[in-house]
Amino acid sequence: MDQSSIKLQLPEAPRDFGFFVNGKTVPAGDREVFERHSPAHDVPVTRLPQCTAADLDDAVAAARTAFADRRWSGLSGADRAAVLLKAADGIRARLEEIAYWEALESGKPIAQLRGEVGGCVGMFEYAAGLARSLHGDSFNNLGEGMFGVVTREPVGVVGIITPWNFPFLILCERVPYVLASGNSIVAKPSEFTSASAVILGEILTEAGLPEGVFNVVTGIGATVGQAMAEHHDVDMLSFTGSTRTGRAIVAAAGASNFKKLGLELGGKNPQIVFADADLEDAADGVAFGIGFNGGQCCVSGARLIVEASVAEKFAQMVADKMAKITVGDPLDETTQIGAITTDAQNTTILGYIEQGKSEGAELVLGGDVMDMGAGQFIAPTIFGNVTRDMAIAREEIFGPVLTVTPFQTLDEAIEIANDTDYGLAASVWTKNIDKALTVTRRVQAGRFWVNTTLAGGPELPIGGFKQSGWGREAGAMGVEEYTQVKSTHIEIGKRNHWIG
């Protein structure tokens, strides 16, 4: 698609996408088709095939054949890196197209998406370096007669199930790292936001990835996703989504082939603000931490835990910031928060807002839908006087809803922060280095931010403590997770005989 032909206006007709197997786009044929309506405009924007379990079998078979004949895993790291670098160029070249269709399917702002897709270029570039630097270990200290080598091998066929909140970004936090060591992939994007995964298939093939190494099966989680979790020929599965579905995946893996799992699940992430913080900076950061992507991030900073002496003043500073966020049309380049992506999520968020009101929390800001003429939009919302037992303080809302809970002492702040089943991310705002370090050491979270929030990039690994998941994605660990470790003992010279 010619990039210059993309205009920031609604398409005249929904675009048809296929799914992607063995290096080729497969049209829907006589399969059922999903028609995705833009959650911001209520018009159909894309059409994608509803694949069946038989389609999944075909994709897994293609990935298995590609893995078994070593067309990718047998290449040198340098050759794999060359393909990943070309894919980075391909993403750069089609950035506007990916951002446009994802804005329509997800309701995210176009300006935000350009940044996200640009970040994915960096993921491929960084993983290309890792393809060349991945290595094992050796033991030269086992005596004159023995040498030990530890090598890393790709796991095999890797399934990747992704959610609707960061369709392209979450995929690209996994795909280049999984490919770096030589695995084959079958991806199952969310039924609501599948287009960008299919475009990635085209980009990878154009970059020279051999056929069958990357496949995309579009379809419904409860059927195709569940079948992937149960599949005996999928060696590892990376799942990102709700903790509820994560439990089903663990059960399915245990009941089938004990496939290795990577899980990135929910979060209820604290933003701890001390009175000695740069409060202007912190207020902007807290507003960004909950407002970005309409709060539909697993790492959203949803719980503001603020020192009591400044709690009221600081909550007002955050409210002033959040009241200025531009909510609106995702295709408008000035929009900061777009639509709520799914109807179910919209209902869930509004339900929690009602629950917050009925539980006795104080509504400081927002608390209602925003009428934009079409689509589903929710005003940035803050609840004050939130106690730890309230559902809005304990459960993942996954929307632009911030709760405010004051604390008196550092120990109490840490206790409140850890009083959750989750452990995905946390932020601390203070100019006191001792407090910052004490909090980062004692709060249980896989990602931590000090005097900033939601920072990221390809270098640092991501993942959660507690019920937020297993394993790590991205960084060097993001490649190592998708390898098996093999230990080899090598006899030098003649063995001491056991018999005679």
**Would you tell me which residues interact with ligand NDP (CB under 6 A)?**
161-165, 188, 190-192, 220-222, 225-226, 229, 240-242, 245, 248-249, 264-266, 298, 345, 348, 396, 398
Distance CA 106, CA 116 (A): 13
- Cβ proximity to ligand NDP: between 319 and 462 the closer is 462
CB of 472 vs ligand NDP, minimal distance in Å:
14
Q: What backbone phi and psi angles, to 5 degrees, belong to 341?
A: -70, -45
CA 121 to chain centre: 16
CA 253 to chain centre: 21
Which listed residue (125, 173, 191, 264) is catalytic? Answer: 264
- Cβ proximity to ligand NDP: between 66 and 227 the closer is 227
CB of 5 vs ligand NDP, minimal distance in Å:
29
- Cβ proximity to ligand NDP: between 355 and 438 the closer is 355
Q: Is 102 a catalytic residue?
A: no
Q: In this structure, what DSSP letter does residue 310 have? A: G
CB of 341 vs ligand NDP, minimal distance in Å:
9
- Cβ proximity to ligand NDP: between 201 and 266 the closer is 266
- Cβ proximity to ligand NDP: between 51 and 410 the closer is 51
Residues 426 and 416: beta-carbon distance below 8 Å: no
Which residues touch 325 (CB under 8 Å, ≥6 apart)?
287, 291, 336, 337, 380
CB of 216 vs ligand NDP, minimal distance in Å:
12
- Cβ proximity to ligand NDP: between 84 and 249 the closer is 249
Residue appearing with tokens 């995309």: 216
Q: Is 298 a catalytic residue?
A: yes
Which listed residue (97, 298, 307, 396) is catalytic? Answer: 298
Distance CA 378, CA 40 (A): 11
* Nearest CA-CA partner of 36 in 17, 55, 21, 54: 17
CB of 101 vs ligand NDP, minimal distance in Å:
17
Query: In which region does residue 16 sit, left (phi positive, over 0), alpha (psi from -120 to 50) or beta (all else)?
Result: beta
Q: Which residues pair with 307 in a beta bridge?
A: 407
- Cβ proximity to ligand NDP: between 139 and 448 the closer is 448
Distance CA 418, CA 468 (A): 13
Alpha-carbon torsion angle 389, 393, 394, 397, nearest 10: 150
Burial 314-336 (b: 16+ CB within 10 A, else e): bbebbbebbeebebbbbbeeebb
CB of 466 vs ligand NDP, minimal distance in Å:
13
* One-letter identity of residue 208: G
* One-letter identity of residue 128: A
Neighbours of 283 (CB within 10 A): 24
Residues 168 and 120: beta-carbon distance below 8 Å: yes
CB of 360 vs ligand NDP, minimal distance in Å:
24
Structure tokens at 6: 């993309």
Residues marked as catalytic? 264, 298
